[in-house]
Amino acid sequence: MQLLPGSFVVVISALIIGVAFGFILQRGRFCVNTAFRDIIFINDLTLFRAYLLSVVIAIIGANLLEDMHWLGGDAYGPFTLSREVFAPVANIVGGYIFGLGMVLAGGCGSGILYRVGEGLTASMVAVLGFGLSIITTEKGVLRPIYLFLRSYKVGIHAPDGSINYAFSLPDLFGGGLATTWITIAVITVVAGTFIVKGKPFQKGPSKGYKWSVAGALIGLMVVAAWWASGVYGQDPRGVSFTGPLAEAFLAVINRSSGSPRQMFDFFGLKMTWSAIYILVVPIGALLSSKALKEFKLKVPTASELMTVFGGSLLMGFGAATAGG
C-alpha cells in the first residue's frame, strides 16, 4: 500500500473510528428507523430518547472541540465545524423521501451498514442501492432535480452585510460564544428532562448495551470522529454516511473519489478519511455479532430484495437532497 507522507496514522485513526462505531451500533441495535418506528407502532420512546441523548452529547462535544480549537488546522488557522446550507424545500422533500425509503429498506444509513456485519443479505443490497443512488443524484442523471431543489435557500444577514446561508441556531440570536453556549444549555435542559423522564437506563436488548448506554457511546463516537477527521484527516466531518459512502463507491469504481477534500492512498485507492472509516463499520458490527453469537447469513426472498433495493434508491436520493 503506497501511502502519502504521514497518512499511516490517518488510515489507522479512520479504521479505529469505523470499527468502534460499527461495534457500538450492533451492540446497541442503534437505528433511527427503529427509534421512530417504535414511537408509532408500540408507543415506546426509549430508543428515541437514546437517540436524543446521542444528539445532545454530540452537540456539546462538537462545539467544545471548535471553541477550544481542538479540530486541527492548517496555515489559514484552526478548523471549524461545517454548517449545512439551509435549503428548506430540499430538506423537507429529501427528508420525506428518505423516510419512505428507510422503511422499505429496513434501516437508516447506519442501520443498514451495521446489519451487513450481522450477515443480512438484504442490508448488503440496501447499501449497494443507497450508494449508487447518492452518486446518481449528486453527479448523474438526477443532478438537475437535485440542484433545482437545493436552489431554494434561506439565509440570514451576516455582520458584514452579506447573506449567510450556512448558519446554526445560535446565529439566529446574534451568534457569539455566549449565545452559542446559552442555546446549547437550553437544548440540553429541555432534551435532558425528556430523556430521563422515561427511565431509559433500565431498558435495552436482551444481549448487548442498554439503549441509553448505546446512545451515550454513539454521541461520544461522533465527537471522537470530529476530532480524528480534523486532526488526522485534515477535514473535520464527524460521523457521516451519505457523502463518505458515495466517495467510497467512486473510489472503488474509478480508483479515486473525485472529491475536492483531502485524500489519501488506501491500498491504491484515493480515498478521504471518511470514506476509509465508512468501509470498516460493518467489520466492527461483525466482531460484535460474532462475540454475541448473533451472526447468521440470511438470504430473503427475491421480492423482499427488490423492495429493499427500491427503498435504498429512495434513501439515496432523499439523503443527498436533504443534505445528509
Of the listed ranges 60-69, 139-148, 181-190, 245-254, the one predicted with least confidence: 245-254
143 to 139, 147, 247, 251: CA distances (angstroms) = 6, 6, 16, 20
Split at pLDDT 50, 70, 90, the class of 5 is: low
pLDDT above 90 covers what percent of the chain?
59
pLDDT at site 203: 67
**232 is written with which cell numbers?**
488526522
**104 is written with which cell numbers?**
422499505
pLDDT at site 290: 93
Rounded to whole angstroms, the Cα distance separating 150 from 134 reads 15
CB atoms within 10 A of CB 161: 6
The predicted model scores a pTM of 0.90
pLDDT at site 175: 85
Q: What angle do CA 281, 287, 293 make, to 5 degrees?
A: 130
pLDDT at site 303: 93
- Residues 226-264 have pLDDT tens digits of 999 999 988 898 888 898 999 999 888 876 666 777 788
- Mean pLDDT (the chain) is 89
Query: What would the mean pLDDT of 273-297 be, rounded to a whole number?
Result: 93
Rounded to whole angstroms, the Cα distance separating 296 from 274 reads 28
pLDDT at site 14: 93
At residue 288, φ and ψ (nearest 5 deg) are -65, -45
Q: At what angle do helices 109-116 and 281-291 cross, to 10 degrees?
A: 60
Split at pLDDT 50, 70, 90, the class of 1 is: very low
Residue 198 has pLDDT above 70, yes or no: no
pLDDT at site 57: 96
**193 is written with which cell numbers?**
428532562
In this predicted model, which residue has the larger pLDDT, 171 or 1?
171
Rounded to whole angstroms, the Cα distance separating 88 from 144 reads 17
- Type of residue numbered 81: L
pLDDT at site 298: 87
Rounded to whole angstroms, the Cα distance separating 19 from 286 reads 9
Task: Output DSSP code: residue 298.
Answer: B
- Residues 115-137 have pLDDT tens digits of 999 999 999 999 999 999 999 99
Rounded to whole angstroms, the Cα distance separating 273 from 125 reads 24
pLDDT at site 9: 86
| Pairing outcome for strands 269-272 and 77-78 | unpaired
User: Containing H/E element for 191?
Assistant: helix 177-197
Query: What would the mean pLDDT of 182-197 be, rounded to a whole number?
Result: 93
Q: Decide if 163 contacts 104 (C-beta within 8 A).
A: no
Residue 302 has pLDDT above 80, yes or no: yes
- Residues 58-75 have pLDDT tens digits of 999 999 999 999 998 888
Rounded to whole angstroms, the Cα distance separating 270 from 77 reads 26
